[in-house]
Chain A
Amino acid sequence: METSPPRRKQRRPPSDGDPDAAAAEERSVDCLPEDILKNIVSRLPISDAVRTSMLSRSWRRRWESTPGLCHLWSRGAHPAAIGAVLARYSCFVCEFCSRGIRREAFHFTDDWICLLAAKGVKSLTLSFWEYGVLNVGVPILHPAIFACDNGGRELEAMIQMSPLLESLELDNVELLDDEIDDWIIQTPNLRSLTIVSFTDDGWQIQELPSIQEAHIIVEEYFIDRDFVNLLTCLSQVSELELHLPFTEDNALEGLSCSFQKLRSLTLHTNFNDASSILSTFSLLSRAPNLKHLEMEVIFNDIPILIDAVSG
């Protein structure tokens, strides 16, 4: 057993007489100590937690000071309400997730991001959708464009100013600013990084001392991207998923670091040419503790799945 928990507030003893009858009179949740009531509220979905403010005067502002609320919003949530809830919530935000953000709601996210940065958000998921212009009247949605006003610089600054950020997922994020060549992803507590996109948006990774898990799936990398440097920055990961580049030469030529902690590796590669085979082996030969290997061979646009488990 660890050290004893802090002393609890004792409930007032029931009045004399039959304890059962006394207890029955007092069985309102309002007789429970404040830390218990907050414990209950912290387990509610965010919209239910906010709605407790309608219960009574003592419940009016309880959710605002309840630590640990998960800000996971369903698709139907009104974007103005999300912002208002964030503004009123006075604790740190561990997890924020809003999916299916429509085009007309894009501008709300600027406010959310400022509020979340101030509240030390640890996990932030924003997924954007827009209606396909060619499918007017047909509710077909496709991944939309996360258009930060100032492109990568703003995103870069946001990431750098979030020292508690542990997990970053950029799913089909496209930066519209042509001026941006290199912008840097650098934050001390990042454990998990996911980048999924079709084109290369010029991100660079630097100093991620806590990184444990990385998924880098970019279909078309910049021709001059330095993969040796990229993988050297990720040498501490235990789980790696990588879309290997299709280059003329072995993109991992000269890789000198060793992936001692790497347990699970998923590669998307093209065994068409010698360079991709060489890249694959450059990586595998430097991962002595690999337990699980999965490869997707992209071959004439038809993926063939190969599963392999090595001891």
Chain B
Amino acid sequence: MAAGKPVVMVTLVSSDGQSFQLLEEAALLSAMVRDTIQIGQGRGPAGIPIRNITGQTLSMVVVYCNKHYTAAAAADGDDAADEEKKVANKKQLREWDEQFINLEQDKLYDILVAANNLGIDGLVDLCCWRFADMMKGKSASEIRVKLGIRDDFTSEQRAQIEKDSPWVWSRTT
């Protein structure tokens, strides 16, 4: 962080009443927090209430925001010409992201919903990447079980689909 800048903290309060304090700049990764602060709210001791997001999920979101804020601040301080270092830092952050999001599915789901409601684009993309990764190379029935999708095709529809698009179920190698 640049010297001389006042340290401003904000408090996010989860739906089950847990409070999380973080640097305002880190919390600004969220469009929802940004909007709240822009209209002059959320800086008071009561903090910003985050509806529908439990403490367990919000704590993970806060970890993500802190990490990405710190990484962005460090990158700003770096020599802009040092391409190699930039690439290395980016790769490191990507590795951290992948480790971070390597979660069981229910937690991943909750974080995706939370990131979407809070408007944290990077975290939404990361969760979507992880969901896609879980779907890769799987059969339709495997994906249905994994992601809780109900097969609502009638047998006629299914026959029609198989007739129309034989490439859909035949695995391409």
Which residues of A line the B interface, CB within 8 A? Answer: 1, 4-5, 8, 10-11, 13-14, 19-20, 23-24, 27-30, 32-33, 36, 39-41, 43-45, 47-48, 50-57, 59-60, 73-74, 76-78, 80-81, 84-85
Contact = CB atoms under 8 A, between A and B. Distances in A.
Interface stretch (B1-9, B39-47, B73-81, B116-124): B116-124
Given A4-B34, A19-B15, A11 B144 contact: no
B51 interface: yes
A48 B51 contact: no
A36 B112 contact: yes
A54 B172 CA distance: 15
Contact of A5 (B31, B151, B166, B169): B31
The B interface, classified by DSSP as helix, strand, loop or mixed, is: helix
Interface of B: 15-16, 28-29, 31, 34-35, 51-52, 54, 105-106, 109-110, 112-113, 116-117, 119, 121, 124-125, 128-129, 131-133, 135-138, 140, 143-144, 147-153, 157, 161, 165-173
B11 to A, nearest CB: 20
Nearest to A27: B109
A55 B157 contact: no
Nearest to A48: B136
Given A4-B119, A27-B109, A76 B151 contact: no
A74 B54 contact: no
Which are the 9 A-B pairs with shortest beta-carbon distances? Answer: A81-B167, A28-B148, A43-B132, A76-B173, A54-B140, A39-B128, A29-B147, A4-B31, A47-B172
A55 B167 contact: no
Nearest to B162: A54
Contact of B148 (A4, A14, A29): A29
Contacts of A20: 54
B172 A27 contact: no
Contacts of A28: 147-150
A79 to B, nearest CB: 10
B131 A29 contact: yes
